[in-house]
Chains A and B, each alone.
Chain A
Amino acid sequence: MTRVLNRRELLLQAGATLAVLPLATRALADIALQEAPLFAEQVAAGKLPPIAQRLPKQPFVSDLAANGRVIGKPGGSMTTLIAKLRDVRYLSANAYTRLVGYTDKLVLRPDILSALDNEGNRVFTLRLREGHRWSDGYPFTAEDFRYYWEDIVNNKQLSPAGVPTYMLADGKPPTFEVLDEHTVRYTWATPNPLFLPTMAAPQDPFIYRPAHFLRNYHGKYADKDKLDQLVAKAKVRSWAPLHNRMDSMLENSNPELPTLFPWRAVPASSGARIVFERNPYFHRIDTAGQQLPYVDQVLADVASASLFAAKSNAGEVDFLARGLVMNDIPVLKQGEGAQGYKTLLWRLARGSEVALYPNLTTVDPVWRQLNRDVRFRRALSLAIDRHTINNALLFGLGQEGNNTVREGSALFEPSYRSKWAQHDSAAAAKLLDDVGLAKGSGGIRNLPDGRPAEIVVEVDGDTGLAVDTLELITEFWREVGLKLFIKPQDRTILRNRAYEGQTVMVASQGLDNAIPTAGMVPGELAPVHQDNLAWPRWGQYVETKGTSGEPVDMPEAKKLLEAYTAWLRSTDSAQQAAAWHAMLALHADNQWIIGTVAGALQPIVLRDGLANLPAEALYSWAPTSLLGIYRIDEIFWDRQDRRIAKAP
């Protein structure tokens, strides 16, 4: 197993098959299946088929021991918190059940699929597990893929925008074939390296849908009279919005919708507590033949986010990560002893906690020219005393440097983090002199047109850390003769202003995914998205296919674009890694995004007795999918008293 993991890059190469790991292919007969106590009664009463009939013929066998975990015992419930009802959608990230998904070592491997053949990133053959069932017991087959492709994506009423980007290679959709009941194939004319990483991303695109359920709401299949009645009852205009409402795979808001997740929502939950119960048809088992997940119920209590730390401190949660922040650590630590929980401190896998985005496409001609001057950007970076920021805001535990990938990623190189990131006010001042910003009255430099060099940095007013960081940077920049004005904004307005080119500089989070593998999409680094606030209008140009925004017109940025295009055409991971390195090096040298410190801690509250979560790991949205890749279905109660099911 470990041997395979070490050769992870190989797995994505042309011709490779993401095969089921050797252990998983072991005949099921070797493992004696055990019924979970929760279901024993129902099985005995004949209400539920026995476990052997509920599992696929070849279930996903999780080798816990090989992963440093222990085989658990089923039962019990875990209480966690969500800030609002809508947040149940994060379950699909945390539960992380994908066609292909990352392991905790970020190796891509089949999960729902039994195998996946990849021919040069062009032809993908997906093999399902025979006997796999939806949570309502209905078989999960190739039909569910066909339904998504033909009746959702290619239905004008349900998908007015057409085929989603990750399904397009060079602008063209794939041909889709059903090979047999358990095999489907997507074929593109040119390579589409976006396909696999998108399947494994925190926001699952769900290229399969429960056809047997959704058919009842589809104009093409449903009985017209019945459907009209349903439409009228739901007070919607046509069947399409009704279908949309029922089809909430991502949002998790419709308890009737069958799922493949480890837990399914129990209907009739009140607005104050959502109850999830284990899915009797979940496809993973442990080596002892016990079906996962171990924990019978997940209880998500709705409470205002500001009370998360307080409720944890009072011992009211078993398990909580999202919603807690570094500043909560002292309070969390304080309650540990008395309330019997532990605060795990994981690292956030971001490129930089706070980064500055000088807008290269700002409309102000003077600022535009200045922001585009690499000496100016380097000066801004050199003038920042990252050590002080680290000490003041991250307890001195963060990593100082550029906004780039982190140690732990195979793509990391020390120079990416350190280049132009050492605090050197004198060098910064010299660079600014070279740019031609002479000092005016009060020691503040003047712009070429005579205005004082006052940089308005806009920031989402809700992120306290960014505002605090800017307060510190204000001091550092004043030393080199630049004045910084912090302008807290509403997030939506900030974004719209940036899209229009109104912002001069924005402070926001750095790279979301700072522990990428070569196979992950380097889209955050390339001028192709308008929400990268260093070049919103370039990104707009790409995203709107040239109808608005402006084309990339700087040679260095064009190089970025070239590298990104190379990645998009790549057929193996060596090409992909080369593209990544080219882009990372360009970023470090050009300082398009000015990083500060990375590596804030993410506190995770875990009740004593809950086992199988690592004490230290990386936490992020992408690629870890919050706690997703750490497989929370393997967490169990190592305490007899908590394994007894409580009333929800």
Chain B
Amino acid sequence: MNVITHTKAPADAGSTPHFVDPRPFDPGASEPMANEDERYWRASALTLIWWKFKRHRVALASAIVLLVFYAMLPFVEVVAPYPLTKRHGDFLYAPPQPVHLMHEGRFVGPFVYPYSFKFNLDTFTRDYEVDRSTPQPIRFFCKGDTYSFWGLFDASFHLVCAPEGGTMFLAGTDRLGRDVLSRIIYGARISLTVGLLGIAVSFALGLLFGGLAGYLGGWVDNVIQRVIEILRSLPELPLWLALSAALPANWSPLLVFFGITIILGLLDWPGLARAVRSKLLALREEDFVKAAELMGASRARIIGKHLIPNFMSHLIASATLSIPSMILGETALSFLGLGLRPPITSWGVLLNEAQNLASVNLYPWLLAPIAPVVIVVLAFNFMGDGLRDAADPYH
């Protein structure tokens, strides 16, 4: 590509002074690139990754789904139709209210039919009867129940609210008459951050140990390799169990939450560390690293400027793939009663409350938290796949 334009040397005999062409060097001058090519060759690695990623439709869709989920987290109070602890004493174990558009053949807009229950003493269930005569339109961008936004100030603005004087339980209610949908939305805040925080811990550890092992080699590498081997030969679940049983039980729920996150992260790093190490070992032999070394670049510069950017995309891809296991880990721990406990609301806690036969055959809507778990885990997996394919833009 590097085409040098030679100019004829001056005819002066004797000394030939080193000649430098004063004109600016333009590598593309002799072979001008087409616009498309130009764009491609000039694009940064990040842009290239993005282009490649974009082509992976499912991954892109997943990324958008995740973006929506995470963008919602700061505003769950606004998104959820009801505040977290809002109870409806007259609607215990109420089934979901479907949203209708048409009432008696004419269009009304989104609305629900009200219902009420009779306690059935033979079956010990509440039989709900829907009143199909009065459609109750759902309100949007409305004033509903008051909540405390981030515990800072009180507000009552919601995206969606129950009809005036009515109820709107799109996913039914639980044993205390709390709206399941709202609880799922609030639970997202905990469950989704567990994944991120956990991966941050594991990422930092993985980068550190993998980096040390890969770059320093020798006995450091050996020790770290052994540690990884040992950690991997213990099943992770008992380790979770033991470590979370070791969390002081008098910790506040918030501390427990952080503790769980850190435990999840602590046990996840070996995978990443291995990836970092092998990548480093491979890259160390590459020409551009040799070149930088010969030019006298410092170690820190080589690592920071040349190595890390080179495999960061890979790491991010594999990190993305391990977030779902953290989210599932949280549900598993909470399910075992070793993770978060009510009144903290996470998806794991909700699923734990739903893990009995009654939920499966009498109140199936209590299993609704499965849906977001599956969606998020799938999305992370697809996005991770897409990222991994895109991570190496030059191949």
Contacts and interface: CB of A to CB of B under 8 A. Distances in A.
A410 interface: no
Nearest to B86: A475
A327 B337 contact: no
A392 B176 contact: yes
Given A329-B124, A334-B362, A468 B89 contact: no
B355 interface: yes
A90 B356 CA distance: 25
A155 interface: no
Given A472-B176, A488-B341, A309 B85 contact: no
Given A327-B358, A392-B89, A471 B119 contact: no
A515 interface: no
A330 B89 contact: no
Contacts of B342: 467, 471, 486, 488
B249 A486 contact: no
B250 interface: yes
Given A392-B176, A461-B337, A461-B341, A328 B89 contact: no
B54 interface: no
Nearest to A310: B357
B136 to A, nearest CB: 24
A331 B342 CA distance: 24
A306 B355 contact: yes
B357 A468 contact: no
Interface residues of A, number: 34
A333 B124 contact: yes
B357 A462 contact: no
B110 interface: no
Contact of B89 (A388, A474, A493): A388
A439 B185 CA distance: 33
Contacts of B177: 392
A497 interface: yes
A391 interface: yes
A313 interface: yes
Contacts of A340: none
Contact of A471 (B123, B176, B249, B250): B176
B87 interface: yes
Interface string B173-190: 001110000000000000
Given A334-B123, A471-B343, A493-B250, A391 B358 contact: no
B133 interface: no
Contacts of A502: 250
A486 B342 CA distance: 9
A396 interface: yes
Contacts of A313: 357
Interface in B76-131: 85, 87, 89, 92, 119, 122-125
Interface string B238-255: 000000000001101100
A490 interface: yes
A391 B341 CA distance: 24
Contact of B358 (A331, A462, A468): A331
B361 interface: yes
B356 A467 contact: no
Residue among A327, A330, A474, A490 with most chain B CB within 10 A: A330
B119 A395 contact: yes
A148 to B, nearest CB: 39
Contact of B87 (A306, A328, A475): A475
A396 B353 CA distance: 22
Contact of A462 (B92, B122, B337, B353): B337
A410 B249 CA distance: 42
A333 B361 CA distance: 12
Most buried by A among B85, B89, B92: B89
A215 B355 CA distance: 50
B172 to A, nearest CB: 15
Given A467-B342, A486-B343, A493-B250, A306 B356 contact: yes
A489 interface: yes
Nearest to B85: A471
A575 to B, nearest CB: 44
Contacts of A392: 87, 89, 92, 175-177
Nearest to A489: B249
A333 B122 contact: yes
Nearest to B357: A310
A471 B353 CA distance: 15
Nearest to B355: A306
Q: Which one of A309, A328, A334, A462 has the highest number of Cβ atoms from chain B below 10 Å of its Cβ?
A: A334
A489 B87 contact: no
Contacts of A391: 89
A352 B271 CA distance: 52
A218 B341 CA distance: 49
Contacts of A327: 175, 356, 358
A462 B175 CA distance: 17
Contacts of B353: 464
A646 to B, nearest CB: 26
Interface in B170-215: 175-177
B87 A309 contact: no
A495 to B, nearest CB: 11
Nearest to B245: A490
A331 B343 contact: no
Contacts of B92: 392
Interface in A382-432: 388, 391-393, 395-396
B175 A309 contact: no
Interface in A278-307: 306
Contacts of A467: 342-343
Contacts of A333: 122-125
A331 B122 contact: no
Contacts of A472: 87, 176
A468 B124 contact: no
Contacts of A334: 123, 361-362
A331 B361 contact: yes
Contacts of B119: 395-396
Interface string B63-77: 000000000000000
A391 B253 CA distance: 29
B361 A489 contact: no
30 contacts: A309-B357, A309-B358, A310-B357, A327-B175, A327-B356, A328-B358, A329-B124, A330-B124, A333-B125, A388-B89, A392-B87, A392-B176, A392-B177, A396-B119, A461-B337, A461-B341, A462-B337, A464-B353, A467-B343, A471-B342, A471-B343, A472-B176, A486-B342, A486-B343, A487-B252, A488-B341, A488-B342, A493-B249, A493-B250, A497-B250
Query: What are the nearest 3 A-B pairs in CB distance?
Result: A310-B357, A490-B249, A488-B341
Given A313-B357, A334-B362, 14 more contacts: A330-B124, A391-B89, A392-B92, A392-B176, A461-B341, A467-B343, A468-B176, A471-B85, A472-B176, A475-B85, A475-B87, A490-B249, A493-B250, A502-B250
Interface of A: 306, 309-310, 313, 327-331, 333-334, 388, 391-393, 395-396, 461-462, 464, 467-468, 471-472, 474-475, 486-490, 493, 497, 502
